[in-house]
Structure formats: C-alpha cells, structure tokens
Chains A and B, each alone.
Chain A
C-alpha cells in the first residue's frame, strides 16, 4: 500500500503520457486525478499510522547500484518527517490536478500536461521517501527535470522557454554543490545510506579533512555543499532568480511547483539531514543568515511588482527564507510546520490568482484589474483567506507556524537568532503590506480593465472552485490542528528521532517557557501594521504610493529591478561566458581544433590520397622501375644494417 502511494502517480503519468492519444483528454484527466486522490487518501492514512501511532518503517524494493564498496539499495523510508511531506505533496498535488481540469480546458495538450504533473509528483514523492543520498538525488533531479518540462509547457512562448532553461541552469549550479556534497558524504562516512551516516555523524563532529592543501572542518564543508543544492532548489538568495521567471508556466504549475512542493525540497533536505547539520554549527549559521536575508529581500521586491503571480512568487521566496532560518536555529519542527501550512495557503493563493487570471481573460498585470470583487466573490473570499494565513493573522494557519518560527529564533539566544528574529518581523510587515496591496489592487477600486474584459469576468467552474475550497479549509485549520502535534509539548513523541536537535540547541523548547510578551506580539503587530499601511496607500489615499515612489525613486527602482540580481549575473556571468564561448568557438574550435583536427586531417588525407593515386601513371616501365627500386631499397637496408 505504501508502495502504491508512491508509484500510483508514476503509473498515471505513464498511462496519460504514452496512451493519452487513445484514452483521450477526459481519460487522461480521470486517470491522473484519480491516482492522485487515491495517493492522497493513502497518505492521510500513513500519517495517522506512522506519525500518530509511531509505526516507522523502511520498505526495501531492490538493490540499485552495487559496485565495490558502494552499494545503494532502493528503499522507501516512512517516518514522521516523510509522512508530513506526503500530506503536503499529495493533497496539494491532488487539488492542483483537479483544478487543472478546469484551468487547462482550452489547452490542446491536456494529456501531456496531466502526465507531467503526475510525473512531477512522483519524483517529489521519491525525494521525500528517499532512504539514501542517491535516491534523494534521483528524486531531486527528476523534480528538476519535470519543472523544466512544466515551466516550458507552452513551448511556443519564447519567454516560457527561456524561463524553463533558466530554472534548469540555475538549479544545475545548486545541484553541482549537492553532488559534491554527496561525494563528500561518501568519502567521510563510506556510505550514502541515511541510517549509517546519521549514526556516525556525532563521532565525526569537529574532524577536519584535507582537500589539496586546505584544511577544513569536514562536516561543515559537507553541509555547506549540500545546502548549496538546497539553495538552488528552494530559491534562496543568490540562486533565486529562476523562481519569479518560472511564473511563465501555467498557473497550476506555479501552484504545484513553486509554492507547495518543489521549492520545499531544500527545506526538507536540511530537516532530513538535521543529524548532520546539528554537528556543524557554522553551517547552521550560514543557513540562518541566508534564510533571513532571503525573507527580507524577497519582501522588498514583492512590494514593487505588478504581475499578480510575481508578487506571490516573491512571497514564496520570502516564506522559504523563514523556513530556512527556522532550520538554522535548530527549530526544524517549526520549519516543517511552516512548510505544511505554507503549502496550503500558497497553493490557495496561486490557484486563486489563477482563477482571477482566468476571469480576466489571461490578464496578469494588477494595474489592469480592480473592482471585480463583486463579480467573483468566491475567489475574492479565498484570496482573503490565503492572505490572512500568509500574513499570520490569528486562527489562520500561518499565524501558528510563523509565530513559532520567530519565537524560536528569538529564544535560540544567539546573535544570529536575534538578527533573524528582527529581520523576520520586518519581512512579516512587508508580507502583510504586499498581500493587501495585491488584494486592494486586484479586487477594489475602480475597474481599470477595458469593457470587453469586464463584461467577460465570471466565476470559475466548480471543478476549479472545489479545490480552492479544500485548500481554503486547510489554510484555516491546518495551523490549529497540527500545531500541538508538530511543535507542541509532546512533539518528541511525534518526530521520534526523524529530526535530531541537540539539547542545548532546542529553541522550540526555549520558546515554550517565558518569552517577553512584547516579543510574542511582535509578529502580529507587524502584520496588522502592514495591512493598515496597505489600506492607507491603496484605499484611503490612492496617490500616496506615487508620491512615495517619486520621493524615493532610486530605492524604488532598486526594489523594482529585483536588487539588480539579474543584471549583475548577466554582466558577471552570462556576458563573459558568451564572450568566452564565442572565442572558443571561433578561434579555439573553428580555427585551431577544426583546422588542425578534423578539417585539417581530412584535407591532408585527401591531398595524400591524390598524391598516392597519381603514382599510378599507367606506364609499365614506371611500374617496373618502382618494383626494382623497392627491391634495391630493401637489399640496401640489409647491407647497411650488416
């Protein structure tokens, strides 16, 4: 049954992908949606069985690689961490599958789309059930591949193609680090099996290893390399540039990949490897700083964007930053908890945005929206729910998880923790601000779209609104439901060693006793102020943002252009690479290698052939002469050699 939960999506992808032509659009949709819903149901069961009743298990499938001392078996690992991820992945994915039936109704390649979605889900499931690094890497790369396929799904659009390539290439940078990290793990531990590695990790703490002539702390280097992979996949600062561009894909893809599942792989990996990270404090510090910085910077960019999906994309990036610095302060449980709640409300926001886009005849620019809340009240409602959850307003899901993270950061008692806390509070304000900016710009004010579009605005069909409803319920209740289990007093009973936290690192425990009241209320205050500022700017005094922008034009430009990351990379990496590539192509390959290599050899060969053939003159005396001379040469050779 456990195996079915993982392999049903693969089977569905296989059927829809290869036989989509025979079973038709409807058939492909039924097969994939059915498989995912079934898989989600099994996941819920597994959550109860493994998570709540503590029946951890590892299911061996077969030996994957056996080469010398390197042996990798293919096994599915089910522990508390895995089942939480299973819930997020399968439930969100099922909702997205069903939603896609409506959203992609006018597309001509439905079976292909559904097959990609299911395949993507399969790889993600593979990733979260991995029992060793190689399997993790397999899922990791598979997810990367599917994200490429899905982002570039509308391959007629040049922007979609380049976005797909960008996602793939930027991820390659991270994966390079990840692969090196796995190699380092094998060198250090002599195994890539999780159980073996985790058991040995404490004994290796503080050991150093020598690379070339460099001495470095072994675990720190390994963890940093692995974290590099996580940064790529989870769009952390530096390797984040692909995420906003990836909004070129269809909106369900954005919801599935860039909100709920794929980008969480990095967070999952850090949590999974907590037994290693715990013994590498420097690496944890780096995780904290990178996470916090990402949370803030993504927030500043999100404030200035006008594309409805880009705003949400930057908010995703920002929330991922929260999850990372939670892990950085050893509050892995809080990070995973936020991952869970975020999965629900971010998918909700994306799908809601998709519903808006659907209603507005594929318009994505918020400057061309406004005043449609009466026309699509259900979508409007769920967007509110999503935004409330995102901003961390009480009783909504985000409130519990975000609070837990910020409190843990403060309670960790380190400077980096305090830094993360204050940055996190600032980011929370930004989050609330841009969320309500989005709500006000999109739904309120005077309609800014033309009349044809306005006349066409309509609520989405049932097949799209039902998944929205499910996700909305999750966004409301996931927080209060899971908070006691995942981060409550008895969280140890739940996690059962799938997360390892050293005693003096336990920031969640510290947060449970005695934080100053003003600290506890800080996030809420920040959120409410953000909402108020947004209200001020976009409802009360609508020309305030314009004045503000004029006043701080350089700063605004800086945010609007995304801190010039793309331009920087373009100037530093892309341009030099192009110049280098052109140089190598024209002079290196064309003139030198081709000239002396293939072309040159071919030309010399032809010349030699012409000369060899011209020896055949047709005259018998030439032939006889050649024979005699040949003989004389051989005889002479013998006499000269003696």
Chain B
C-alpha cells in the first residue's frame, strides 16, 4: 500500500491544472466563438486559485516527499503572480479580438505558464524547481510566437526558445554539480550540508553560480538579458505585458527562495554574483534605454534596469533586503501592467503605435490617457510620492543598512542612484513628448472598457500607494520572515 502524499498544500496548483485542462478540452471541442468565453473563464479560474491560496493561509507545509513547500512567502508571491496573470489575460482579450488572433489557446497557454510559476514559487527541490521552470517556459515560448504569421513574432519565439534552452542547460548543469558534490537535491538537506561544512565545497559554489545564471536569464539580468529587447518587441503587446509582469515575479521569487533558503549560508559567495548582476543590469538597462525609439524595446530595457534594482535588495543579503525586493516586485508589476495598458490604448488608424515619437502631443487629444502615461512614467522614474519611489526607497534603505558591514555595497548604492538618474531621462522624455511637443497624428478613441479598467486600477494604486502602503509592507515583511525562519 503506497501512502498518498498530502494534497492540501498543493490544492491551488491542482485546481489550476485540472481547470486548465478542462478549459483546453472545452476550447478544442467547442465552437469557433469560444475564445472569448475561455478567456473570461480563465480569469475566473485564476481568481478562484487566488482564493484557494489565501484560504490555505501562511502556515508552512511540506509535501510530495519534500518536493513542494507552501509558506507565507509562497502565499504572497503566488497571489502576486495570479494577479499579474489575470490582468494580462484581461489586457489580451480586447487586443486579440482586434488583431484577429482571437484563439482560445492564448489564455490556456497563459494558464499553463501560470501553473509553472506557482510550482516555481513553491519549489523545495532542484527537481521540482526545474519542472516548474520548464512548465512555465515551454508555454511562454509558444505564447511569444503566437502570431506565427508575423516574422517578428516567430523570430521572438525562436530566439527565446533557443536561448531559453541554453539557460536551462546551464541550470541543469549547475543542479547536477550541486547534486554531485552534495549528494542531494532537496533544499533543506542542501542547507544543512552547507551549514555543517566550514567552507562550502567548490563544486557546490560553481553549481550555485550556474544555477543562478540559469535563473538570471529568466529575469533578464545582464549579461543574460540579450533576448529581452527582441522578444519584447516581437511578441504581441499583451504577451509582452505578461512577460514583463508575472514570470519576472515568479523567477525573482525562485531566486529568493533558492538563495535565502538552501544557499542561505553561502551569502558571502552569492552576494558577489548578485552584486555583479545588479550593477550591470542597472547601468546597462538605464543607458541602453536612452537610445530606443520603440516603446516596447524601451520597456524591455526598463525592465532590465528594474530587475537590477530588485537584485540590489537581494545583494544586501538581509531579511530587510528580501522584504525590499518583495515590495519592489509588487510595485514594479503593477506599474508595468499599467504602462502596457497605456501602450495598448495607443492606436492610430487601427494600427498600434510603438514609436515613442508618435506620442507627441498626446495630452491635447487624450488628456486622460496622457495623464495615465505621465503617472506611470514618473513612477517608473522614481519620483515621490508615486509608488515607484517607495519601491526604490526600500531596497536602497536595505542596501545602505547592510553597507555598514559590507562597505562595497556603498558602491552599488551609488551606482544605483546614478543609473536611476539616467533612467529618469528617458521616462521624462516620454512625458515631455506627450505634454510639450506638437501633435503629429491624432489617436483613435479608446473603446475597450476592460483595458480602461486595468488602467484606472493600476493608476490609482500607483498614485495612492503612499497613503495606504501598510498591507503591501506587512505582507512583504511576513513573506521575507517566512523565508528566513523556514
């Protein structure tokens, strides 16, 4: 008699997997017009999954022979991922209908990707880590190439796939090294092993670096970032929004769990890697963005720079730093989705506008849309009292505090501030174009209520975060605490 593992901690994932497969069947056997309905059901499924996550609470529970863990950190990050996915599917709906790519596979694939992300967040073993990551990635490769009749979209999918395979190889190689030198793949045991030995085995260190490199690809940290601009530009815009939001949150969550958990005692080693990745990402992301004229490429570099800022908190190597990262990711996700909602609104004669020079004079024809753009751009630039400022504030605070012990972190903080100054340039240039330049062409009227709703929701969050920051701050603090005690 084989004893069945406890299913309850994984209930959200199980529910999501079963519902997604049911939706797939429904789509395949349903009539042609089901795409819209599938999309709506997908959102409902995500909401239910979110409720299940919340319903489970923040208690730590390990199941599936130690492969899967559910705790406060997982709960917070999963809710965040689910929100990101749900908003992206909402954005995708209207766009898909307009652009004649209205196929039921899109929401279903996004659900599968989300399932992979949830597994990533809950991974407690190198094997389950890899399975979750690949579940996510395979779905994402397909989604990137979703417009297979478009050269750019196909190119984006292919590039992402090839380089993603390389990164998976790096990750697997790292995992095998860790297993070879440590004799286990389970996080808790790896942690015990490292804690027991005075200096970590070289093989484990190298394995850790390989694993981090593989994950750094997912969050597009320099030098593993190069796919980002091409994929962001080529993929359909709502897919890009999805790429920029949910998978980033999940991958950052995975890195946090991996480095703070099993490798928690190797902080001396990995903080150097994170230091380098963070510094390079902030600087390159900020500088390269200046040159961009395509708003999606601009957002790609912006997300590279943003990941650099998020890693800043991780480089601090403290619980406070981890809390800073969680807060940062929360705010980053909302701002990014809001920005993409704005981008989705920008159409001229039925075509999407991607050249930022065409935004000139937007304030005169669409004052509300212009205001929305301005809010998100100011927030991304980190101007108080908008939300983006607080995201940066908490990671910088953590770094400065940690710098008392590790003085090289001051360098990181200084470069962080400088690159956020450089970054402010290209965000503010968009605002300048919108408000001070003469209009070239007029924009079509926005008629999509769901996009408008997303826009308003994310805009309000960005504007009024400073007034009600407590839920996010407390949630992030609890999440970080769960990682460090567990």
The minimal Cβ–Cβ distance linking A609 to chain B, given in whole angstroms, is: 4
Some 18 contacts from A to B, beta carbons below 8 A apart, are A605-B290, A605-B422, A605-B425, A609-B287, A612-B291, A613-B288, A616-B226, A616-B229, A616-B230, A620-B159, A623-B226, A627-B163, A627-B167, A627-B223, A628-B166, A634-B213, A637-B272, A638-B269
Nearest opposing residue in chain B for A608, CB measure: B287
Tell me how many residue pairs across A and B have CB atoms closer than 8 Å. Answer: 74
- Encode A216-234 as 1/0 by CB contact (under 8 A) with B: 0000000000000000000
Decide if A626 is an interface residue (CB 8 Å cutoff).
yes
The 8 Å CB contact of A631, one of B163, B170, B205, B290, is B170
Within residues 591 to 631 of chain A, which ones have a CB less than 8 A from any CB in chain B? 605-606, 608-610, 612-613, 615-616, 618, 620, 622-624, 626-631
Contact call B290/A606, Cβ cutoff below 8 A? yes
B217 at the interface (CB under 8 A from A): yes
Q: Which 7 A-B pairs have the closest CB atoms?
A: A630-B223, A609-B290, A613-B291, A612-B288, A623-B226, A612-B287, A609-B291
Inter-subunit contact A612/B223 (CB<8 Å): no
B288 to chain A, nearest CB (A): 4
A168 to B167, CA, bound (A): 71
Q: Say whether A609 contacts B288, CB under 8 Å.
A: yes
Residue on A nearest B230 in the bound complex, by CB: A618
Residues of A within 8 A of B222 (CB): 630
Rounded to whole angstroms, the CA-CA distance of A605 and B424 in the bound complex is 13
Q: What residues on B are CB-neighbors of A631 within 8 Å?
A: 170, 209-210, 213
> How many angstroms between the C-alpha atoms of A547 and B144 in the bound complex?
103
Is A455 part of the binding interface, using a Cβ–Cβ cutoff of 8 Å? Answer: no
Q: Is A635 located at the chain interface by the 8 A CB criterion? A: yes
Minimum CB–CB distance for B372 against chain A, Å: 27
Interface size class of B (residues with CB under 8 A): 20 to 34
Cβ of B290 and Cβ of A623 under 8 Å apart? no
Which secondary structure dominates where chain A touches chain B? helix
Residues of B within 8 A of A630 (CB): 213, 222-224
Residues of chain B within 8 A (CB-CB) of A616 are 226, 229-230, 288
B96 CB–A CB distance under 8 Å: no
Q: Is the CB of B288 within 8 A of A624?
A: no
A635 to B276, CA, bound (A): 12
Closest A residue by C-beta to B213: A631
Write the nearest CB–CB distance from A639 to chain B, whole angstroms. Answer: 8
Say how far A632's CB is from chain B's closest CB, in angstroms.
10
Of the candidates A610, A623, A634, the one whose C-beta lies within 8 Å of that of B276 is: A634
A593 to B209, CA, bound (A): 44
Q: Is B284 an interface residue (CB 8 A)?
A: yes
B206 at the interface (CB under 8 A from A): yes
Interface residues of A (CB under 8 A from B): 605-606, 608-610, 612-613, 615-616, 618, 620, 622-624, 626-631, 634-635, 637-638
Interface residues in B206-245 by Cβ distance below 8 A to A read 206, 209-210, 213, 217, 222-224, 226-227, 229-230
A605 to B291, CA, bound (A): 10
CB contacts (< 8 Å) of B227 on chain A: these are: 623
| Among candidates A605, A626, A634, residue contacting B287 with C-beta atoms closer than 8 Å | A605
Q: Please report the C-alpha to C-alpha distance between residue A612 and residue B222 in the assembled complex, in whole angstroms.
A: 12
A620 to B155, CA, bound (A): 10
Bound complex: CA of A618 vs CA of B229, how far in Å? 9
Which residues from chain A contact B230 at a C-beta distance below 8 Å?
Answer: 616, 618
B210 to A, closest residue via Cβ: A631
Additional A-B contacts beyond A608-B287, A630-B223, A637-B276 (5; CB < 8 A): A609-B288, A623-B163, A627-B163, A629-B223, A634-B273
A627-B276 CB under 8 A given contacts A618-B230, A638-B205: no
Set of chain A residues within 8 Å of B272, measured between Cβ atoms: 637-638
Q: Is B288 a contact of A615 with CB atoms below 8 Å?
A: yes
Alpha-carbon separation in the docked complex, A47 to B230 (Å): 86
Chain B residue, CB-CB nearest to A616: B229
Interfacial chain A residues near B276, Cβ < 8 Å: 634, 637
Determine whether the beta carbon of B166 is less than 8 Å from that of A624.
Answer: yes
Contact with A along B162-181 (1 / 0, CB 8 A): 11001100100000000000
Check: B292 CB closer than 8 A to any chain A CB.
Answer: yes
Q: How far is the CA of A615 from the CA of B288 in the complex (A)?
A: 9
CA distance A626 to B221 in the complex (A): 12
Chain A residue at smallest Cβ distance from B166: A624
Enumerate chain A residues within 8 angstroms of B291, measured Cβ to Cβ.
609-610, 612-613
Contacts of B167 in A (CB 8 A): 627
Residues of B within 8 A of A635 (CB): 206, 209
Chain A residues with CB under 8 Å of B209's CB are 631, 634-635, 638
Give the docked Cα–Cα distance between A313 and B367 (Å): 59
Chain B 419-458 interface residues, beta-carbon cutoff 8 Å to A: 422, 425
Closest residue of chain B to A617 (Cβ to Cβ) is B226
Distance between Cα atoms of A631 and B212 in the complex (Å): 10
Cβ contacts under 8 Å, B425 to chain A:
605
**Which of A605, A612, A627, A637 is within 8 Å of B166, CB to CB?**
A627
Identify the closest chain B residue to A606 (Cβ): B290
Digit string of B277-290 for contact with A (CB within 8 Å is 1, else 0)? Answer: 00000001001111
Known: A630-B223, A630-B224. A623 touches B287 (CB 8 A): no
Task: Give the distance in Å from the alpha carbon of A609 to the alpha carbon of B213 in the complex.
Answer: 25
Q: Which residues of A contact B229 (CB under 8 A)?
A: 616
CB neighbours of A615 from chain B (8 A): 226, 284, 288
Select from chain A the residue with minimum beta-carbon distance to B160. Answer: A620
In whole angstroms, how far apart are the Cα atoms of A482 and B82 in the complex? 91
CB–CB A638/B166 < 8 A: no
A616 to B159, CA, bound (A): 13
Interface centre among A613, A626, A629 (most CB of B within 10 A): A613
CA–CA, A629 and B280, complex, Å = 14
